[in-house]
Structure 1
Amino acid sequence: MTLQFSLGAAAPETVDSACVVVGVYEHGVLSSAAAQVDAAAEGVIKRQLESGDISGKAGDCVVLFAPAGIAAKRVLVVGLGAQKSFDGARFRKACMDAARALAKLPVVEAVSYLTELDVPGRDSAWRVRIAALAADYAAYRYTATFKPRDKSPLPKLGTLTFAAGDDAQRGLEQACAIAEGVRFARDLANLPPNICNPIHIAEQAQAFANGQAQVSCTVLDEVEMEKLGFGSLLAVARGSVNKPRLIALEYKGGSEGDKPYALVGKGVTFDSGGISLKPGAGMEEMKFDMGGAAGVLGAFVAAVKMGLKLNLVCVVPSVENMPGGDSYRPSDVLTSLSGLTIEVLNTDAEGRLILCDALTWTAQQFKPQAMVDAATLTGACVVALGKHASGLMSKHDDLAAELLAAGEETLDRAWRLPLWDDYQSQLDSGFADVANIGGKSAGAVTAGCFLSRFTEGQRWAHLDIAGTAWDDGRKGLATGRPVALLAQWLLDRE
């Protein structure tokens, strides 16, 4: 069941709800809504603070049941941490903490007053949007491959109302559209590779297009790609019985003749490493190697649902990288769609090999005004930036600034890495125009440098999301990043 959202402006002590949510800072500082509840309930929150039952520390959530003087049946008190350092990131965390706490209660609806909190530099629409996205993220459950379970006897939260006026309506509408895109991306990326193969991604893209009047879908199979000269992409796919697909979605939301924006996403539905086989430990996470594809598809869904007044294309090269009798090998020389030849030094550097052909085709076919690719491209980016920031590379300072700003606005942040020509010599080859890896040092940067060879003359940026596309561990789920970042970037282009 998808969580539904609405807006309301009643005083917290008067709301007849299963639960109202208020915030408390450390050192006994009450938010405005918490102070109103406390006054109506004759000091119940302050007494709990004095006794130590409520701390106000970030992440601390306490439920007060049916306090006298309050119309609501429960009050959920959420710790906000120190007031002086409260910012957008802490606000989002508080909203997520609240949503997780509400999910454990037998309530079908609740009203949150966290959206009335003062977040420096952020207006009501922003607070509602972030709160709704955080709640939707926390409410997400992956169920696709579990045995159907009996419904829980306890009711589940279905509607969450935010305390805000009509000025926040636009933020709520954007949140609902972006949340749909994030769920689309997470659902697709979480599927196992025996279900989510290149054909499945193509089917999901086609199904979405079929339901949208302004969207069309084109899918190229291996025969069509061979005729066109996708030599690099097809080489990666050779070792698998699951055949590759190139998927292109087009959205005509702008004026006829306007050049589109283009999103390109790496869609390796399982990456064994090929002949350069990966270690067995952790290989199960390589189903997430299509996180870039999931992310750009989710951003496309969000843009369509927001009804953005622009033209947009989303291109997904999708393959499975497997060892086999026909697999491509280290030392093979491939001829890409651009005509550049590539010496394969490692078959586990396959993402760039499918992206280079997809980027070339996108530029030739659509002549976009700007092109951004997203890919779980390098472990080196995870080493450099960890799980918090995506790596951003571009030779266009204005485009990089736009994407960085979109990341800050949505808290789906990126950090810029250099794309200097100084690094290009690491890709020199004695047998082809370029090698597919640049050695041990600056692995994320040299991967970006490789892609830059195929985007000459294009306004292009690359997002390495290897660290941000999924959570670690056997129970780690796809995050849906960078859907929010890309959706905001497109929203800013209207």
Structure 2
Amino acid sequence: MDFELKTFDLADACRQKCDALVAVVTDDGMAGDDPVSRLVQDARKSGDFESKPGKLLQAWRVEGVAARRVVIAGAGDGSGKRVQAAVQAAVGGLRHKAIKRLVVALPGSAGDDAVRAAVVATADSSYAYVATKSKADGRAIERVTLSVPASVTAHRQAFDAARGTAAGIEFARELGNLPPNVATPTRLGDEARKLAKAHGFRCEVLGPKEVERLGMGSFMAVARGSEEPLRFIVLQYRGAAESQAPVVLVGKGITFDSGGISIKPAPEMDEMKFDMSGAASVLGTFRALGELKPKLNVVGLIPACENLPDGRSMKPGDVLTSMSGQTIEVLNTDAEGRLILCDALTYAERFKPRAVVDIATLTGACVIALGGVRSGLFASDDNLARALQEAGDAALDLCWRMPLDDEYGDGLKTNFADVANVAGRPAGSVTAAKFLQRFAGKYPWAHLDIAGTAWKGGAAKGSTGRPVGLLVQYLLSQQDGKATATTKATAPAKAGRRKAAAR
């Protein structure tokens, strides 16, 4: 999908030759004398339209309008969040129409937040998965013109960032939606190589022998039950001087999770193909970096494998030796994500990072806590947590900080190893984060639990591409060596508790 940003008012928009015109209307209304403004004014008087977010009025062949279809979309106060709802509703309603060219006209009050929201929402609502279907729909939108009454120059930076972000989100969604017999660890490695070749990244894809030499015993144990060979992917984007410490993104890449010996229930197990959404979000973020080319250094680490039951699979009661040298007692083989992430977090130390953020569909407990609205955010550093939270707010890809009090780690104690891989049902998302924190003590670290936000079930089943928007926004805020993390990693347990209580 091609996006372009142009400066013209609604009267000019009415003259654009296109298949559909979406006019975003705020509470301030439309006082113009063009055909669409008159339509809105008349509809309001008759009570047939109100500007609440997501409210639509559709019309066919409006006199004086070049577009075949006109969609009036309510956007309330015109904020980014309201514009997002308006555009999602409008473009979603056009998905199954023969729309090749679309014009989205923003109101005069539109700011950068509205521009970003409109681009990302258009791409999100028009996305359709066809990769493994025998017949494609053939109704994909090809070109989108976003019109703003103010100067294009004023919104160019926000527009370009949104366009790159949208490309990254779509890339992550497509990978996440692929079936597990296609999106194997090998396929993820191949996709990383393609990205590197297309955008000039450095890329290494390590196999079982290299991973064994690194001493990643925890990662290797998870992969033992599968015939698909594991892959450890290392991507490097260099947009700043070599001397500048990178941000490291670590993505969980379980391409299918049966639970292993601690096997999951059969219903909805197919959705465990989405357990590599953390990996997909890292690759999607690198896709955006290739477009945007920000001035910073970023490393992406993806441990990728399957978790399946087999005669060679790890068992409850096994003790593993991680890359860090810490031993881990496996009490539940379905808590495997943390077992592959911990070795990747140890590997991250070699880059002397300014910050490390891991992204994982880690716990069902986080779904219970936060649902599908916000990702769970855990951090050992207040400044890093604040930067990620602000990035999520700006990108409308929300997260919520959770506590990391030391006491939560007590349940991970065991008589037979340095740490157990689970601590029971209470505060399951927190104890999982406490496990990871043990391996991330040498740098500022944050963990995003995206189990509730990475995909949707039911009739809308599919990957969301989250949290690519949050990650891209965070990285853009870190350009030119701006620091949002302290140089020493600390564990502000009390601060985490205060935040949770205050909210």
TM superposition score normalised by structure 1 = 0.91
CA distance in 2, matches of 1:286, 1:355: 17
- The residue type paired with residue 288 of structure 1 is F
- The residue type paired with residue 11 of structure 1 is D
Of residues 215, 234, 247 in structure 1, which corresponds to 2:233? 247
Residues 1:457 and 1:51: Cα distance change in structure 2 (over 3 Å): same
**Is 2:35–2:62's contact at 8 Å kept on the other side of the alignment?**
no
How far is 1:426 from its partner?
Answer: 0.8
- The residue type paired with residue 98 of structure 1 is A
CA distance in 1, matches of 2:362, 2:227: 23
SS in 2 for 1:308: coil
Residues 1:149 and 1:102: Cα distance change in structure 2 (over 3 Å): closer
Match of 1:200 in 2: 187
SS in 2 for 1:458: coil
- The residue type paired with residue 116 of structure 1 is G
**Is 1:406–1:485's contact at 8 Å kept on the other side of the alignment?**
yes
SS in 2 for 1:141: coil
Match of 2:220 in 1: 234
SS in 1 for 2:301: strand
CA distance in 2, matches of 1:241, 1:69: 63
CA distance in 2, matches of 1:55, 1:40: 18
Of residues 395, 400, 421 in structure 1, which corresponds to 2:385? 400
SS in 2 for 1:305: helix
Match of 1:455 in 2: 440
CA distance in 2, matches of 1:41, 1:179: 29
CA deviation vs aligned residue, 1:225-283 (integer Å, no higher than 9, x gap)? 11221100000011110111100001111112211110000000000000000000111
CA deviation vs aligned residue, 1:101-159 (integer Å, no higher than 9, x gap)? 343554433332235345xxxxx33321221011011111111100034746xx84522
CA deviation vs aligned residue, 1:45-66 (integer Å, no higher than 9, x gap)? 3332333433434322222334
Q: Residues 300-449 of structure 1 correspond to what in structure 2 (within 5 A)?
A: 300-363=286-349, 365-449=350-434
How far is 1:393 from its partner?
Answer: 0.5
Moved more, 185-194 or 220-229: 220-229
CA distance in 2, matches of 1:309, 1:41: 43
Match of 1:189 in 2: 176
Of residues 15, 32, 38 in structure 2, which corresponds to 1:36? 32
Q: Structure 2 stretches of 5 or more lacking a match?
A: 480-503
How far is 1:413 from its partner?
Answer: 0.8
Match of 1:64 in 2: 59
Is 2:81 the partner of 1:89? yes
Match of 1:121 in 2: none
SS in 1 for 2:311: coil
Match of 1:79 in 2: 74
**Is 2:55–2:86's contact at 8 Å kept on the other side of the alignment?**
no
Match of 1:116 in 2: 108
Match of 2:132 in 1: 145
Is 2:257 the partner of 1:275? no
How far is 1:347 from its partner?
Answer: 0.2
CA deviation vs aligned residue, 1:372-409 (integer Å, no higher than 9, x gap)? 00000000000000000000101211110110010111
CA distance in 1, matches of 2:469, 2:28: 31
CA distance in 2, matches of 1:399, 1:210: 31
Q: Structure 1 stretches of 5 or more lacking a match?
A: 119-123
Match of 2:11 in 1: 13
CA distance in 2, matches of 1:218, 1:412: 30
How far is 1:471 from its partner?
Answer: 0.7
SS in 1 for 2:430: helix
- The residue type paired with residue 114 of structure 1 is L
Match of 1:467 in 2: 452
Is 2:474 the partner of 1:489? yes
How far is 1:176 from its partner?
Answer: 1.4
- Total equivalences in the alignment: 474
Residues 1:171 and 1:115: Cα distance change in structure 2 (over 3 Å): farther
CA distance in 1, matches of 2:21, 2:38: 16
How far is 1:328 from its partner?
Answer: 0.3
CA distance in 2, matches of 1:150, 1:478: 19
RMSD of Structure 2 on Structure 1 (CA): 2.0
CA distance in 2, matches of 1:441, 1:379: 12
CA deviation vs aligned residue, 1:295-322 (integer Å, no higher than 9, x gap)? 1111122123211111110000001000
Residues 1:24 and 1:184: Cα distance change in structure 2 (over 3 Å): closer
- The residue type paired with residue 198 of structure 1 is P
Residues 1:238 and 1:398: Cα distance change in structure 2 (over 3 Å): same
CA distance in 1, matches of 2:160, 2:180: 33
CA distance in 2, matches of 1:242, 1:76: 48
TM superposition score normalised by structure 2 = 0.90
Residues 1:362 and 1:401: Cα distance change in structure 2 (over 3 Å): same
Residues 1:115 and 1:323: Cα distance change in structure 2 (over 3 Å): farther
SS in 2 for 1:211: helix
Residues 1:127 and 1:243: Cα distance change in structure 2 (over 3 Å): same
